Structures are given as structure tokens and as C-alpha cells.
Chains A and B, each alone.
Chain A
């Protein structure tokens, strides 16, 4: 019996032996793409039913031995697998159809391992190089927006700033919720350094040149990313760069050139009827209170009807007081991005090589702002022996900026502050010569502001970042089935910033100069052993085991000359006062051991197991080792049950469970004593306001995910549905505590947060014709429900503050959705009617209330793309529904009377009520023509707040428009400026044309591709007036707050890609 079994096992071998004896012929040919006639390198050509196979060369050519009765199988990533019977053909040229079949897809998974998508027990979505490089977003994160289900991207400021990305909602109450970025297997830094310095520095991943990217694979959460360990709980973005192999058709030279223009997408809607002043009065003398209300920076002044009033430019002469409706708009300029790149690549038996250079020059929408980036990349693979391969990747990025736009509404460096506190009559063009002869600034106001052009030209911040990203991988094939890999990778950058504040700047009469320098590095060394074996004919086993050593270092040196001794000289030596300086060094190490195994059964059922143990330096001995496993499985039912048909082309079920441990930042165990600036000769040390925790345990996120994938009608309809549920516990939070404890914050280790959600992606190909016309629709939908379960173990704490602006706070509030907007609200009676004070202004409730949540209820997008013979057109519509935003721009702008919305009730035309003032009281008049007793002045800007008095009567007190808007939109009443942040945006429109290969060949070129791209083109719907609901201060967790943002932009770009 045993003998028979063994014999059976040998049978396939015997059959192969038998076949190989038969007559062999040589078949040659070229593999091309049917859509664009491009040659396809690296296509796999196999003799069906055997293990014999080859790959097409960089020219798409192949050569293989076969027999007449063999069938050749042609497959390549992104194309339909096609078969051809050899017969008597010696030349078989084949053109492959673009693939609809997700089943055939190979995707990059954790640790850069390529896997057939069908074998995975979790959702993964991938973007190809075309999706990324054509979008021409200078910040890589933005290119992902609207394209992947469950991914949320928030832009911060203007067109040069940072962007935040979160996948499947926040899993950490206090920690970083952005995914880990991994480039060719090596983690890269995406910090946003210098938050709170009054500049919105771009997050570090924006250094990556989109043209170098071959694919981006989004691993959403622990189930997909468990192998990455500590940093995987927020998901991982796996970036694969282009190599010489991707160069189509032999040694290739590709030139890429693009230009993008950026203009304001939105600007507040300003009124143009009333100018600077208060109580309707204004006359300029010195701009700081010497004249009549000339220190006032609001627009509650006289009517802009051409009356004669001395103004800032008129040297005391009364000149016409008129509107300049575009005064703010005219200050902004058109930003542009010029992008020029060159790459050379190729591949032969011994070597794949690719070199690229890219220059991106981007200017901002604020005058005198911009950044220039030069990127050099070299990527090589040396096949030293058939078994030993060395791959190297080196990327040098130099980002240099002379000035970046100021944010946060700081007087010294931000212009948005003075435009929302503004005199609407101010003619900005008269401010262009911003300096007086004596070096002081020339401006419309000297109480609070410097001239906006002064701010842009004198108070600059420069940045210079030198970054090196590199890795080397040595791969040795020990046996056919066993490979050893050693990889070392590093990401190192130095970032130097120079902040200048000029002499005579308002609020900083002596100016200041600051140098802030960072050095950031991460190094990873990794060793893995990978075994792949077929067990019998039914089982495939793929096992991987490895170890990783990660070390991070962060260094900051900050020095400031707080007051300059001599003007216009920017050096630290030039100081009246002792320098303010700090230095900071943090180091972190993590040792890891990990293993993963995949067992496949008959190529339709798969089980994946992973396990990892981390030892982190940031946790105390005893708690610093933590183990976490994951398991997932997939079953392709359509194959297993043989129910595959034209109507049901695919049915796959998948599910998994995963756990991920997470460490914390360095130095969170032992309390230390911070230094303060010395008092004369006395050094100062203080008790820290943070109470640390010497018993820290790792955070643990446990996640379950199930999903179904289905394809119908020959895969012309594709559906992927995922449900996930994750719970994070032992969360490490530096929680606010009552300062009466002697501390402001205590490091807790007990937070718990849950997330559950659904993601749906639906792909449709309503039309595809023989002639090559094709229409694809892709729909993404994601809904995430978060809940803060617990903050501290004893239940004392109900709120954790994620961010704040004035009274307005963003909280993780126990029992609630993550990201509650918590602020001061109207005081209401038992019938929920707003109460008013004795003077008729709305009453503020002494207790703060939850006014909304920044986290949206659901997000979605729909992309339509049409292609026909080299032409393609696509448009992407993107939406977020159900979150809220507190808008400081609206709150301030209503109070200062600059917004158009303050026109309501401001005069007779706009529904204002007539009244006069007597003894400090406003007394209503029956109509606008009535006269007031005693000859009192009749006013026409009366408004009655729609509320009730404490004794339940309808409010009848009349307020002047100025008092009304100042009371309703006061900084001590947040509720009035909380808006529904839902929006529907036309995110992207793309028109591309690939000139037919036949034509291009005549010109001696390989391929020519042109594309026109428009990004952030407009809102189809939004509920937040005057600002983009999709903005934030920075990339931290305190989202949902907006104040004095630089407006977001829309961009129009042109891109040309030529391959030789």
C-alpha cells in the first residue's frame, strides 16, 4: 500500500520526464499591451501544466522551448492571463488585455512580500504609478485622497502645507494615528516638525518624488500589517519604487515635465458696504488710536459711500472712503509648480538599473513663498551569481525654501489675521511699498499689525532639508525552496530653519532671529529566511522567519536671539539679550523577531499566520517584551465549489484576527526636572508639569476583519465588502489632570478605544467594446464608528484633550465618538430655547457642551474613467459626511464685521430695525421715518436676538448690529461658529492621451503620454460658509478646528512624459 502511495507521488515527476523526452521546439515572440501597444517586460510565459517558464525581456521579447501540443500561458501584473496553443508556430506575438480580474492580482503586502491577492484574508487596495504621478500632488499624501476606501486625508494650509492621513479612523487616543510609510521594505519618517512655530511645515513624506513610485499598497490596520509590529495599528502604506525592470522596452530614458498652477479655491465672502472703525466712526491720524477709532481693526465704521475721510495714505487729507472689494484676493498670487524629471533605466541578465533626477519648484499663493526640491535616485539590482542578488536603493532629497507661509494667526508672520480683522476700504495695492524711509513699516494700522507685504518679505522663515534614504538588500538562494535575505536601510535627514522677524515689526520692535535645527534618523537591519515548498500536489507552504533591529534618533537644537541689537543682520551673535536655547536628543531602539506562514490548498484556500515579538527601549524592564499574533484565511468559493460562471466570476470569503502591540515615546518612565531660562546668575530647575509612569505596559490593539469579494458578469461588476472591528487597550495617554494635583498632565496607561466599520468598494465596467472603448466606475464607501471606552482605570477622567483653540477644545470623551468638539454654548431653558441676558445678548451656559464631532459619519468617492484608443478621461468626486468644524475665521469675521453675512440687519436695506438710544438703552421706533424724542439720533441697524428672557418672554431688546454680531460671535460663545463639515468635492479631473506606439516609433521614441489634470476643482456641496471644511491646523489629532487658515487651493496641471 505504502509503495503504491509513493509511486503515485512520483507520478507527476514521471509524467514530466516522459514529456521532456518528446520533441522540443523553440518559440519566440513579443508580448504587448492591447490598450496602448506598449511592449510588456517581465511578463511570465509558462508552458501550461509544467513548471517550465521564462520572462519577457525589457523589450517584451521572449523565447521558450515547447512542444506542438503545449499551450503557452502569458501572464503579467495588471493584464488578463492569455493562452496560446503552440501548434506549428515558431513565432507567437501576443497582446494582453488589461485585467479586470482582481483574482489574478498580485499585491505588495507586509515586509514587501508580493502575494496573490486571492490568498489574503484581509482587504488591501493598491494604487499604480500612473494614479500617483499624473495627479502631480507635491505632497504624496494628497494623491491618496478619495482613491482608497476608508482613507481620510485632511489638508492644512494653502498649497505648501502639511496633510494628515488616517485609515479606518483613529485607533490611538493620544498617539500618532497616521499610518507607517514603508519604502521598499524600509520605514521612512513622516513627521511634521515644528508644529506650533507659526509655520505649517510639510510632513516629511512629501520628500518622495511621485515619479519614482511604482505602486502604493494600503494595508488598512492590524490585520494586514501585524508583521510591521508596533507601528502597524494605524495601518501601513507600502511604497514600491520603480526599478530598471519597469522600464519598458530595453534601456529607456524617460523625460517627465509638468506644470501646475494653483489658485485660491475659496476665500471668505467679504462685505463692501462699511469700512474700518467702530460705532460708524473713523478718521485716520496715526493708525494706533491717535485719530478717531484709527487703532480699531474692525469694519464697523462709516458707510463706504465715497464720503471724505482722512485715510492712511492721504497725509491727513480727507479723501473718498470707498470699497476695494478684491483687496484680500489681490494680495494672493497664483502659485505654480514646475516639475521636471529624467530617468534612465534598463535591465540585462546581470543588472537592473534606474537613475532618476527630479526638480520640483513650487511657489505659494502668498507672495514670496515657495520651496524647491531636488531628488536624485539610484536603484540597482546586481545578479552577482544566479543565486546571489544585491539590490541597492539610494535617494537624496534636498528641499530648500527661502520663505514658507505663516499660520496660526500670529501677528508677526501671518497675514490672514489682519485680513479677518480688517478695514474693508483698505486698498492693498497702496501697501506694496511697505517700508518708510526711516525703515519703519507703512501700514493701514499700527496698533496690531505690520504691513502684510512686510510680513511676507521681511519676516521670513527659511528651511533647508537634506535627506538621504537608502537601503541595500542581499538575497541568497540557499536552495530552490529556501532564500535568505539581509537588508539594511536608513532614513536620515537634517532640517535647518531660520526664522527672521525684522526690526520695527509690530509687537516685536527689535525683531528677533531664531535658528531651529533637526537631525532625524531611523535605521533598520533585517534578516529573513524564506522557505517555499509544495507539499504534494495540493498544498503550498510559504514560511518566513526573521529578526529586525530598529534604532531611531531625534535631535533638535533651537536658538533664539529674542531681540536684535542691530537691524537687518540675522545672526545669533546679534542679540541684546542672552540667547534662548534648548537642545533635545531622543533615542529609541526596538529589537524584533517575527515569523509568518502561508499555507495554500489547491490554490483556492489559504491560511496566513504571523507572530512577532518586540523588545522596545521605551518601556520599562519587565514590560518591554511583548508578543502578538495574527491569523487570517481566505477561501475562493467560486473555485472550491466549481460554481464559477459567466454570471458569477468570483466569490471569495476572507476573515482574520490580529493583535498589535505598541510602545511609546522615549523617556516616559522617570520624572525629570526641566530647565528654565536662568534668572540673572541663578540657574533654574523646576518640577515638570508632567507626571510620568514607571510601570508602562505596551498598548494592545486587537482587530477582527471579515470580508467578501465577488465578481459578476465576467468581472464587469466587482464588489468588495469588509467589516472590521478593533479595540485598543492599555492606551498610553498623557492626560490632562486637575492642576491642583501639582501637575498638568499624568501619563496614564489605561485608555481604551474601539472602532468598527464597513468598507465597500464597487467596480463596474458598464461598457467595453471591441473597438477599445471602455468605461469604468469605481465607488468607495467607508463608515467608521469609534467609541472612547475608558480613559483612566479609576474612572476619574471623562475627557482627554486632543487640541484646542481658545475656549474650543477637541476631546476624546468617555463613552462618545472620538473627536468631540467641546465648547461654550448658548444657555437654554427647559424647552431648549436660547436665553438672553438682561441687555438682550445671548446668554452663555457656564458649562461647556459637546457641539459636534470632527470625525465624519462616512466617507465616499466615485471615480468614472473612460478610455478609448490611448485617450482616457476620468473624474473623481469625493465626499465626507457628518463631521463638524469649528470655524474661527467665521467667528472672528462676524465679530469684526468684515463678512458679507454681517450685512443682515446692518441698515434699513438689509432689514435693520429703527431705534434710538436714551440713558444707555435702545428704544425701538415704529418705523424708519419716525423721529426720536428730544432730537436723539435715529439708528437703523437694530437687531433683536431670537431668544427668550429668563422669565420665559420672547426677547424684545434691540441691539445695534455691531453689538449683536460681537455678542453672538464672541470668543466666549463657540456654538455659533460650529458648522456641519460635510462636503462633496470634485477632487480630480484627468484627461490623458498616449500617442499610438506606431506613430511614436517613427519619431524614434518609445512612448509619449500627455495629461491634463485638475485637482480640488470645486465644491458640489458644502455647509460651512467662507472656509474649506476640509482644513485643519496640523497633522495632529486635534482636528475639527479652523482659525485664520490660509485658504485651500485648486490646481490645474499639465504633464508630459516621453520615453526614448
Chain B
């Protein structure tokens, strides 16, 4: 009897045990989240999350919108004196890398595995846009080793030159694989699933980057415009939808709108109000709101002390216009007006053929049209000597008008102001940079702790990790 029983028990035990193994494995299947992802959901998320960062508090309201003197602070004015909060700096970096680079790298991969090159192209274009914003803002950044956690736990920082050149190549590649006729995409709230729109957006970014590096690397800039011409100058036109995200009602409201629901910390900067007034610019009534107590637009000086700012009074100073503070206000990523300003400058620099002055005026008209201003008042405006294009000082003409046109696009305006050095801005009243203005953001402190050696190498190459260090493209 016993002899029979021992093998029997062994068999039972083995069956029981393998049953247990299966049971254990089944138990550890996560029932809460999928293990695979479909591209349209990922695209929708990537656009929403990254435009939120691009238009949100950390990258704009508390930093670039103040530096570029579109906005000023009337409460908690520390950031307006060039003391950015470490959390703001950290959030911009983390959000763009961990949400943007990660999501769009995955989307590009899905394009390959699902044999839909359009998704791959969109993934690459969005990722390139994010890298461009990051390098504009910080200078040298992890690029070639970024977003590859399996290979690189501590990615090296690439020089800004390498980043821009890499982006130009990636964008060119992305444009080449787009096939507007087939492989439709979904979930695109930036360009409404229009692959031609994506092609134009990518080409627009190529032209933007080309000008960004034009002072440093004129040959490369020239090559980009030559390529674009060879590809047929397929760029945004007046009738195209621009690259913009139309926000919805709560909880998907515009970040500025969301801020205004509960806070009252910001006003329009005195610098931009004064400039618009001086130019009799009809955009004043759009960019600025009337104060509760007065019938005149009053901007606030950047960098006031807490008590002098608060003494100006909430009801006696202008907030930014409702077009920007509305719940459903759009966030602009790339506008037709900007494309025209780029072409104007490219023409001026002989990177393309064309009449720079004419393109400059078209750019201003496009900006006016963006805010619904058309007709005689545009002509009157353009006829002013103060607006007329000055080919001898094109950086001033384009710099000042582009600054006005990019109002509220803090990141792009901050980059272009640094490159063109116009308009000439006076540092914040109690700025802490010894009479200088910020020329970049500092790296987040997490990089010191988590990617220390590469951080140190980047700082050694680029210069001290302070706001006043010039990034590579900022030659003058």
C-alpha cells in the first residue's frame, strides 16, 4: 500500500504546486490599467499634457511671460524679480521629459509596429517640438540618450548645436514619411487629424529652428531653407488651421483660465501696454482688460516689491485680455503670423528669395487677423513710420513686431527676444541679477542629485548654471 501512495502524493503535490504557480501569476495581472496602448489615445494625451505645460504656470506665467515682459506680478512678486521657484523649473523639465518625450517616443514606436507611418511622423514631430522648447530654454540638454531608460539611466547632455541639428534631421525624416492620403490618424486635437497640417507644422518648425541657429550656423540655416524650397515650400497659408489647442470647459479649461478662476496674481506688463499705446496698436484692447475702477489700460511694472505692487491695487490695473483668460481660450503652438515673420527674416537674410518688407507687413496683418482685426485700421497702423520696416535694422523691426505678435506665447517670444535682442527691455525693477535679464532657465536641482556627472559636464561646457548664462544660439 505505502509504495503506491508515495508516488501518488508526489503527483498530487506536483499538480497542486503548478496550479499554485498559475494562480500566483494570475493574481499579479494588473486589473486597473492596460498593458498595451492604442496610438490615438496616446496622441490625445501627449498633446493635452504637453500643451498644458507649454501654456501653463511653470513654463510661462511664473517665468517666461514675466521675463519677456508680457505679464507682471501684482501678488507674490518674487518670480518677477528673477527668482524662479525651484518647483517651476523642476516641473517644466519633468513634464516635458517624462510626459512629452516618453509619450511621443512610444507613439513613434507604435507607428512602426502598427505600420502607420503617419503616427510615427506625428510622434517625431511632437517630440522634436518639445526638444526644441527644452533646448531654447535650458541650452545643452540630454537629447540623443534621452527617453531610452533601458540603455541610459543617466543620459548625457548634448550641446545645443547637436540638438538643433538632430531635430532638423528628424523633422525632415518625419515629413518624408507622411502620407496624407492613407493611414488616417485620430485623436489629434492640435491639427484636427490633418496630415497636411502636420507636414506644414513640421516644416514650420524646421524654418523656426533654421533661423534660431542662423547667427551661429548660417550654412546650416541656408541648407534648411533650400531643402524646404526643394520640397515645394509646403508651409502654413492663410486658410490653414494653425497649430493650436482649443481648450474646453472644466476640467479641460485653458491653464490661464484655470488660474484666473481662483487667483488674481498677475497683470499685463507696463512694458507691453506702453508699447501698444505708443504704436496706437488696436491689439491693446484685446491683449489688456480694463481695470474695474478705471477706463484706461494700466500695465504693471515688472519686479515691484510686494508692498508697492499691492499698493497699485487690483481694481486699478489691467489684467490680460479675456481672449487669453477665457476658459476655452486656445493655446497657440505655431501660428501663420509667426511663419510669415520667419519668411520675412529669411528673405532679409537671403536664405530665401522674396520681399522682406512685404512679408513683414503680411505677418503683421496675419497677427491682426488672428485677433479678428481687419480692414482700414490695419492699413492705418501699417502706414505709421514707427511700424514701417527698416531693412537696415531688421532685427529691430522684426524683433519688436514679432514680440507683439507672439503675445502670450512666452516660450517662443523669450527665445526670439534673446536671438534678435529686440525689443530692448529694461530689467525688472527689483531684479536680483545685478541689472541683467534672464537668458535661460537653470537646470532643475534633481539633475544634480540624479544625473550629477553629466550635469557637471554640461555646466563646464556651457557656463555656470545661472539665469544669465547665454545659450549657444544666443550669439549677440
Chain A bound to chain B: yes
Chain A residues within an 8 Å CB radius of B36: 673
Within B78-113, which residues are at the interface with A (CB < 8 Å)? 83, 85-87, 93-94, 97-99, 101-103, 105-106
Interface check B23, CB cutoff 8 A: yes
A105 → chain B closest CB, angstroms: 40
User: B251 interface residue, CB < 8 Å from A?
Assistant: yes
Q: Please tell me if A509 contacts chain B, counting CB pairs below 8 Å.
A: yes
Q: Verify if B187 is at the interface (C-beta below 8 Å from A).
A: yes
CB A616 to nearest CB in B, in angstroms, measures 7
Given contacts A290-B315, A507-B262, contact A737 B153 (CB under 8 A): yes
Name A278's contact: one of B83, B187, B306, B447 (CB within 8 Å).
B306
Q: Which of B3-11, B43-51, B195-203, B278-286 contacts the other chain?
A: B43-51
| A675 contacts across to B, CB distance below 8 A | 33
Q: Which residues of B contact A577 (CB under 8 A)?
A: 249-251
Which residues of chain A have C-beta atoms less than 8 A from B24's C-beta?
589, 591, 615-617, 621, 624
Count CB-based A-B contacts (< 8 Å). Answer: 219
Q: Do A742 and B250 touch (CB < 8 A)? A: no
Which residues from chain B contact A766 at a C-beta distance below 8 Å? none
Output the nearest chain A residue to B252 by Cβ-Cβ distance.
Answer: A679
Cβ of B30 within 8 Å of any chain A Cβ, yes or no, is: yes
A616 to B189, CA, bound (A): 44
Q: Quick check: B30 and A744 within 8 Å, CB to CB?
A: no
**Could you tell me which residues of chain A, from 583 to 598, have a CB within 8 Å of some CB in chain B?**
583-589, 591
CA distance A671 to B20 in the complex (A): 24
Known contacts A509-B261, A563-B250, A739-B93; A686 and B45 CB within 8 A of each other: yes
Contacts A288-B314, A807-B86 known; A741 to B27 CB distance under 8 Å? Answer: no
| Interface check B14, CB cutoff 8 A | no
- Is the CB–CB distance between A742 and B450 below 8 Å? no
B44 in complex: contacting residue of A670, A683, A687, CB < 8 Å: A683
Look across to chain A and name the residue whose beta carbon is closest to the beta carbon of B451: A738
Instruction: List, in ascending order, chain A residues with CB within 8 A of B449's CB.
Output: 736, 798-799, 848
Report the separation of the CA atoms of residues A313 and B259 in the bound assembly, to the nearest whole angstrom: 30
Asked if A685 meets B42 with Cβ closer than 8 Å, knowing A675-B33, A739-B97, A838-B434, the reply is: yes
Separation of A936 and B235 alpha carbons in the complex (Å): 62
Q: Is the Cβ of A739 less than 8 Å from the Cβ of B28?
A: no
Shortest C-beta distance, A512 to chain B (Å), equals 11
The reply to whether B49 and A676 contact each other, CB–CB distance below 8 Å, is yes
| A886 to B: closest C-beta gap in Å | 15
Q: Mark A711-751, 1 if CB is under 8 A from B, else 0.
A: 00000000000000000000000001111111110100000
Flag if A684 contacts B41 (CB, 8 Å).
yes
B248 on the interface (CB 8 Å rule)?
A: yes
Given A672-B33, A679-B48, A689-B98, A738:B450 Cβ within 8 A: yes
Whole-angstrom distance from the CB of B225 to the nearest CB of chain A?
A: 31
Q: Does A562 contact B (CB under 8 A)?
A: yes
Residues of A within 8 A of B142 (CB): 738, 740
A508 contacts partner chain B, Cβ-Cβ < 8 Å: yes
Min Cβ gap A148→B in Å is 36
CB of B23 within 8 A of CB of A589, answer: yes
Cβ contact within 8 Å between B189 and A679: yes
Contacting pair A591 B30 (CB below 8 A): no
B372 is an interface residue with CB less than 8 A from chain A = no
On whether the beta carbons of B27 and A737 are closer than 8 Å, the reply is no
Q: How far is the CB of A813 from chain B (nearest CB, A)?
A: 9
- Is A796 in contact with B35, judged by CB distance below 8 angstroms? no
Task: Pick the interface stretch among B144-152, B165-173, B269-277.
Answer: B144-152
Chain A 575-614 against B: per-residue CB contact (8 Å), 1 yes, 0 no?
0111010011111110100000000000000000000000
Q: How far is the CA of A799 from the CA of B446 in the complex (A)?
A: 10
- The answer to whether B148 and A585 touch across the interface, beta carbons within 8 angstroms, is no
- Verify if A85 is at the interface (C-beta below 8 Å from B): no
A738 and B42 contacting across the interface, CB-CB below 8 Å: no
Judge whether A508 and B262 touch: CB under 8 Å. yes
In the complex, whether A279 has a CB less than 8 A from a CB of chain B is yes
On chain A, the residues within 8 Å of B37 by CB distance are: 673, 685, 687
Given the interface pairs A675-B33, A676-B49, A794-B153, the reply to whether A295 lies near B262 with Cβ below 8 Å is: no
Docked CA distance A321–B155 (Å): 59
Q: Say yes or no: is B445 at the interface (Cβ < 8 Å to chain A).
A: yes
Within residues 344 to 394 of chain A, which ones have a CB less than 8 A from any CB in chain B? none
Q: Among residues 832 to 861 in chain A, which have CB atoms less than 8 Å away from a CB atom of chain B?
A: 837-838, 846-848
Contact A738 B25 (CB under 8 A): no
Docked CA distance A266–B146 (Å): 50
Tell me the minimal C-beta distance from B431 to chain A in angstroms.
12
Quick one: CB contact mask for B423-457 with A, threshold 8 Å, 1 for yes? Answer: 00000000010100000000001111111100000
Interchain CB contact (< 8 A) of B32 among A563, A585, A737, A741: A585
Q: Is A490 an interface residue (CB 8 A)?
A: no
Does any Cβ of A come within 8 Å of B465's Cβ? yes
Per the bound structure, the CA–CA distance linking A39 and B70 in Å amounts to: 86
Closest-by-CB residue of B relative to A746 is: B149
Which B residues are in CB contact (< 8 Å) with A296?
A: 306-307, 310
Residues A664-721 near B (CB distance < 8 A): 666-667, 669-677, 679-680, 682-689, 691
B375 interfacial contact with A, CB 8 Å: no
Specify which chain A residues have a CB less than 8 angstroms from the CB of B83 in the assembled complex: 972
* A82 smallest CB distance to B (angstroms): 52
Contact residues in A for B101 (Cβ distance below 8 Å) = 740, 742
Chain B: residues with Cβ within 8 Å of the partner, total of 81
CB distance from A1031 to the nearest CB of B (A): 24
CB pair B41 A742 closer than 8 Å: no
Q: How far is the CA of A584 from the CA of B187 in the complex (A)?
A: 26
A740 touches B451 (CB 8 A): yes
By beta carbon, the residue of chain B nearest A588 is: B27
Q: How far is the CA of A858 from the CA of B82 in the complex (A)?
A: 44
Is the C-beta of A125 less than 8 angstroms from some C-beta in chain B? no
Measured CA separation A51–B249 after assembly (Å) = 84
Query: With A289-B313, A576-B250, A617-B25 known to touch, is A585 a contact of B31 (CB < 8 Å)?
Result: yes
Say whether A797 faces chain B, with CB atoms less than 8 Å apart: yes
Judge whether B311 is part of the interface by a CB distance below 8 angstroms.
Answer: yes
B21, CB-defined interface residue at 8 Å: yes
Q: What 0/1 readout, one digit per residue, does chain B (287-330) give for beta carbons within 8 Å of chain A?
A: 00000000000000000001100110111000000000000000
Q: Is B468 an interface residue (CB 8 A)?
A: no
Q: Does A618 contact B (CB under 8 A)?
A: yes
Specify which of B28, B40, B101, B466 lies most central, judged by the most chain A CB atoms within 10 Å of its CB: B28
Interface string of A232-252 (1 = CB under 8 A from B): 000000000000000000000
Q: Is B154 an interface residue (CB 8 A)?
A: yes
* Contact A742–B102 (Cβ < 8 Å): yes
Instruction: Indicate whether B34 reaches chain A with its CB closer than 8 angstroms.
Output: yes
Q: Chain A residues with Cβ under 8 A from B42's Cβ?
A: 673, 685-687
Q: How far is the CA of A580 from the CA of B102 in the complex (A)?
A: 25
A36 contacts the other chain (Cβ, under 8 Å)? Answer: no
Q: How far is the CA of A577 from the CA of B253 in the complex (A)?
A: 11
When distances are taken between beta carbons in the complex, the residues of chain B under 8 Å from A837 are 432
Of B48, B102, B155, B262, the contact of A738 (CB 8 Å cutoff): B155
- Bound CA span A213–B262, Å: 51
Is A447 close to B, CB under 8 A? yes
B466: chain A residues within 8 A (beta carbon): 846
B213 within 8 A of A: no
Q: Is A792 an interface residue (CB 8 A)?
A: yes
Q: Known contacts A509-B261, A740-B141, A742-B149: does B251 contact A677 (CB below 8 Å)?
A: yes
- Which residue on chain A has the smallest CB distance to residue B151? A741
- Complex contact B262–A672 (CB within 8 A): no
- Please name 12 further chain A to chain B contacts, defined as beta carbons within 8 Å, in addition to the given A740-B147, A798-B449, sorted by A numbering: A289-B310, A292-B311, A293-B311, A578-B251, A583-B32, A589-B27, A621-B25, A673-B34, A673-B35, A685-B37, A686-B99, A847-B448
Interface residues of B (CB under 8 A from A): 20-21, 23-25, 27-38, 40-42, 44-46, 48-49, 74-75, 83, 85-87, 93-94, 97-99, 101-103, 105-106, 141-142, 145-149, 152-155, 187, 189, 248-252, 261-262, 264, 306-307, 310-311, 313-315, 432, 434, 445-452, 465-466
A-B pairs with beta carbons under 8 Å apart, 11 shown: A666-B28, A672-B34, A682-B40, A685-B37, A685-B41, A687-B42, A687-B106, A742-B98, A746-B149, A846-B466, A972-B85
